Structure 1
Amino acid sequence: MIIEKIESLYKEVFQLEPKRIEKLPQSGSDRLYFRVFGKGDRACIATYNYNEQENRTFLAFTKSFRGLGLPVPEIFGVSADYLLYLQEDFGSTSLAGLLESEGHSDRVYKLFQKSLAALARLQISGHDKVDYRLCLTSTEFGKQAILSDLLYFKYYFLDFLGLPYNKQQLLDEFDVLSVFLGQSRYKYFMFRDFQSRNIMIKEEEVFFIDYQGGMNGGLQYDAAALLWQAKANLPKEWKDALLDYYMEQVDGLVANKVDKNAFRNQFKGFVLIRLLQVLGAYGFRGLFQRKAAFLAGIPIALDNLKKFTDNNVIGIELPEFERILGLITGPETKTKFLPVQASDKTPLVVEINSFSYKKGIPEDKSSNGGGFVFDCRGILNPGRQEEFKKLTGQDKPVQDYLQQRTSMNEFLNSVFDLVSISVENYISRDFAHLQINFGCTGGQHRSVYSADQTARYLKNKYKVKVILTHTNKDNWVQ
């Protein structure tokens, strides 16, 4: 249904049929992204989101920013129900991607400078143009919004750990910190999620996406989010120099000269709030929603918080809060979130098979016996369509179909949750064998895709030895 809506809107906007549509990897949100190719392979991005208000806010902010010549996408068209829109495609290179591929290179440093310079323009120039009444959660990142972030950390991460603490004293100190940061003298448009994956790079220029969570707030928060992003792991020298550079950019745009000492002091507080907000988000997505990628991020986020607390002082008395921070950045807490992984001496081998129910479930010849058998026949069968009959679950058109038009993603997330319990237990107990089978009608499309994806997941997460077999391969339709 979503694909049909994209095709219809694209045709309405460009008066052309799209040549092809590719689903893009999903990020932490519920939004779905697609790259739509048209004439001459010119592409745009289709964004589908059931949250109509979130879409309306993004579109309104974008209109305001583009009117000021700021580096945000052009909007080509919007569906009548505001659930789908087509936007400019900046390509696939993000600042996060360059960091991963190039590390802390001179080129990456210059792009950080460009990002901060453009951020300052967006924050200060955009402040008088955006309609803050459209903000999704709060119009201002003041005392109440800051307190909300602290409580988010408390409920979704701290309380999960079960550490003993003085609840009332901690809440009182949260209140003190919220008042301190809520009184920032530099309040303008706050991007809210200004991190390297939301900065796209095209022809060595920077462009911003995903600012719909913005509100009125302290300038320092966005700089803190970028410079202290855990996965970026920026050197201290970079953080210090880039903060100085950012303050110079701000200084050239505001009416009164920036008090750099006061700016730095509040910057530290915003760094702390941001690091705790990230832990709260990882806790909610990982510990409560059971999303593996967010669980994997918790140890990295804890290391980042420890770097900060070991080298920075906020400047206000928060004894219970500081005690709690010391506990959660200790080695015992981090160990709780490190996944069990196989070593060279781990005997476990995971045997993964795809099969056809017409041929029967593969026999387990090990002494262990048992294991898992997952029936993929509840997933819509691409093999019934002529264009896919001679393809397999290893071909991209079939993979796109399964990801975009079926319940395969939900199915595999459930599979991963179940098999992870056994794999972790078997590694810790030195078991030698686990069999996992995926069956479908012909053993060619759904079961093959499921087996391949599960093998990849287990290798990446647990470093475990995997034997992957497609038992019906000799009978695939050619």
Structure 2
Amino acid sequence: MIAVIDAIRDLCISMGEAPLDIEVLPQSGSDRRYFRLHLKGGTCIATYGNNIPENDTFMYFSEHFREKALPVPALIGWNEERTIYLQEDLGDISLLNKLEEEGLTDNVYALFKQSLHSLAQLQVKGHEGLDYTRCLTNQEFGKQAIMADLLYFKYYFLDALRKPYDKQKLIDDFEALSTYLTHTEYKYFMFRDFQSRNILIRESGNVFFIDYQGGMRGAPQYDAASMIWQARANLPDNWKERLLNDYIDSFEQTIGQPVDRAIFKSQYNGYVLIRLLQVLGAYGFRGLFERKAQFLTSIPQALNNLRWFIDNQSLGIAVPEFRKVLDICVSDEILERFTPLTATPETPLTIRVNSFSFRKGIPTDDSGNGGGFVFDCRGILNPGRQEEFKVLTGRDKEVKDYLEQQTRMPEFLNSVFDVVDITVEDYMKRGFESLVISFGCTGGQHRSVYAADALARHLRNKYKVPVVLQHVEQEAKNWVNNKY
């Protein structure tokens, strides 16, 4: 990380100005790293990535789209190796942030509508003169790419259910659906990952797009389906229908001619299904195979979206074995399998979560039950050895960023969640009243505090169970309180 920061500083100096400060930003789902550079005249964003073809594609698309006056960040410069590039700072507020903060307000709807209007312009105007040989992967989202998404769902979600089905008939149905969706009347630039977290809202209220480097030529309906049916956004049914019509209006306006709405919507439904299944495949891979708890908790909502879709929409093509498989996925049995238990007012269980210093000893269990868990965080790199973190705790942003981005704390906690969840669910079913879970580190200041907070948050969010959180060492020093 230090070498990357030094390289970013050198790039800025070569362009005429050393940054006043370089702020490390949270890492997203990719391997790219982001930094906010504070300069005399304002800020900009530095991106570091070892995938040079990906960087090249993003920079090419960005320059092409800016020439068309489309809402993407302006490029400022890049290093000779093309591993670092600087771009306009669009801020930190995404459309998803707006939705989560404001809820289903008229303002949020207007932002979704504006985003879909700008999407239609990006798809059509961005397509003009675009060199698709510069795409990162496929030049076109055709039959092969559709089959890849369907197989992703099959291998990482469907097969993990261990339910019987006719594998050859399913593959035949995949082939038929892929062929049907490939024969679309309209093919323009396809964003490929168009969702509310990739849409940033400026203070002016204008929307801008990021993370379009996976784009290719394809059906415009795919991007609209990706946004409107994003599982995490969980838009209501009336919004989905209105936004689709808003998008078609904007698309017709941009191409300058009407579309056959029945055919357009039929193929849109096919891409909605593809996107829903691709998301389930991703959740299955991250949750069932990589054992990342946050993805497992997203599966029930994705399944509920899929259930509503197959009950209310038509694909326009007969795929009987595929339909049989979909019915399996949205059955009550499968939904119950992935839906976690939640506490009720009658649930007697209270969980006590502690952080402590091994120098002072493990906290006692006052309930008299004994047992529980004690996790040793000393195998994680210690932020306390860094001079700038010595007077901070595991609740300060700088320490949290260090633990999340430069240590194996996320992996450690995913394993902790797996183990603890088994016991919590069993205790809830059996009516147990108490469970104690403690995290220790050398001083009880950084790693254990962060881990205890993370587990308490996980348990409250997933199980809605009462959690009593105590930072033994820090509360003795009056450094932190029981709120976060």
Q: How far does residue 177 in structure 1 lie from its aligned partner after superposition? A: 0.8
Aligned ranges 1:7-406 → 2 under 5 Å: 7-13=9-15, 15-24=17-26, 26-39=27-40, 42-202=42-202, 203-254=204-255, 257-406=258-407
Q: Deviations over 1:137-187 (max 9, x none)?
A: 322111111111111111111111122212111111111111110011101
Distance in 1 (CA, whole Å) between partners of 2:13 and 2:437 is 44
- Compared CA separation, residues 50 and 374, structure 1 to 2 (3 A): farther
- Secondary structure in structure 2 of the residue aligned to 1:149: helix
- Measure, in 2, the Cα distance between the counterparts of 1:7 and 1:332: 55
Segment drifting more, 70-79 vs 384-393: 384-393
Residues 386 and 312 (structure 1), Cα distance of their counterparts in 2 relative to 1, 3 Å cut: closer
Change (3 A) 1:385 1:194: closer
Given that residues 296 and 337 in structure 1 are in contact (C-alpha distance below 8 angstroms), is that contact kept between their aligned partners in structure 2?
A: yes
Distance between the aligned counterparts of 1:258 and 1:47, measured in 2? 40
Number of residue pairs matched?
A: 476
Over residues 307-343 of structure 1, what are the superposed CA-to-partner deviations in whole Å (9 max), with x where a residue is unaligned? 2111111122212212222222222221111112222
Distance 1:391 1:333, change over 3 A: same
CA distance in 1, matches of 2:386, 2:38: 23
Q: Whole-Å Cα distance in 2 between the matches of residues 439 and 320 of structure 1? A: 52
Which region of structure 1 is more displaced relative to structure 2, 187-196 or 339-348? 339-348
Displacement of 1:106 = 2.2
User: Is the CA contact (8 Å cut-off) linking 1:20 and 1:38 kept in structure 2?
Assistant: no
Q: Which amino acid aligns with 2:153?
A: F
Amino acid at match of 2:449: V
Cα drift, residue 22 of structure 1: 4.3
Structure 1, 301-310 or 237-246: larger mean CA deviation: 237-246
**Paired residue secondary structure (2:73):** coil
Which residue identity does 1:238 align to in structure 2?
A: W
User: Aligned-pair distance for 1:256?
Assistant: 5.7
Change (3 A) 1:197 1:366: same
Q: Does 1:431 align with 2:432?
A: yes
| Per-residue deviation, residues 188-236 of structure 1 (Å, max 9, x unmatched) | 1111111111111111111101111111111111111122223333344
Q: Percent identity?
A: 57
CA RMSD of aligned residues (A): 2.4
CA separation of 1:474 and 1:275: change in aligned 2, threshold 3 A: closer
Task: Sort the Cα spacing of 1:196 and 1:366 in 2 relative to 1 into closer, same or farther, 3 A.
Answer: same
Q: 184-193 or 321-330: which moved more?
A: 321-330
Q: Distance in 2 between matches of 1:440 and 1:7?
A: 35
SS at 1:467's partner residue?
Answer: strand
Alignment deviations for residues 343-402 of structure 1 (CA, whole Å, 9 cap, x no partner): 222232322222222222223344432332222223333333443333322333333333
> Which residue identity lines up with residue 133 of structure 1 in the other structure?
T
455-464 or 170-179, which deviates more:
455-464
Distance 2:94 2:478 in 1: 40
Structure 2 SS opposite 1:394: coil
Which one-letter code corresponds to 1:325 in the other structure? L
Relative to structure 1, is the Cα distance of residues 174 and 88 closer, same or farther in structure 2, using a 3 angstrom cutoff? same
Partner Cα distance (1:230, 1:382) in 2: 36
CA distance in 1, matches of 2:294, 2:236: 24
1:20 Cα deviation after fit: 4.9
The Cα of 1:76 is off from its aligned counterpart by 2.4
Q: CA 1:179–1:346 in structure 2 vs 1: closer, same or farther (change >3 Å)?
A: same
CA distances 1:58-77 after superposition (whole Å, capped 9, x unpaired): 22211211121110011223
Q: Which amino acid aligns with 1:376?
A: C
Q: 1:233 to 1:402 in 2, by over 3 A?
A: closer
The answer to whether the Cα contact below 8 Å between 2:157 and 2:281 also exists between their aligned partners in 1 is yes
Range with bigger deviation, 93-102 or 412-421: 412-421
In the alignment, the residues of structure 2 paired with residue 434 and residue 49 of structure 1 have an alpha-carbon distance, to the nearest angstrom, of: 43
Distance 1:385 1:192, change over 3 A: closer
Specify every segment of 5 or more residues in structure 1 that has no aligned partner in the other structure, as ranges.
none
Shift of 1:267: 1.4
Rounded Cα–Cα distance in structure 1 between residues aligned with 2:40 and 2:416: 40
CA distance in 1, matches of 2:313, 2:75: 42
Q: Distance in 1 between matches of 2:13 and 2:370?
A: 55
Structure 2 counterpart SS, 1:286: helix
Q: For the Cα contact (< 8 Å) 1:51–1:83, is it kept in 2?
A: yes
Cα 1:287/1:18, change in 2 over 3 Å: farther
In 2, distance between residues paired with 1:423 and 1:48? 40
Partner amino acid, structure 1, of 2:40 = K
Q: SS at 2:255's partner residue?
A: coil
| d(CA) in 1 for partners of 2:370, 2:308 | 47
Could you say what secondary structure the match of 1:360 adopts? coil
* Counterparts of 1:295 and 1:57, CA distance in 2: 32
What letter matches 2:240 in structure 1?
Answer: K
In the alignment, the residues of structure 2 paired with residue 196 and residue 178 of structure 1 have an alpha-carbon distance, to the nearest angstrom, of: 26
Q: Distance in 1 between matches of 2:235 and 2:265?
A: 18
Deviations 1:33-88 (A, max 9, x none): 34343337x33233333433322222221121112111001122334443333322
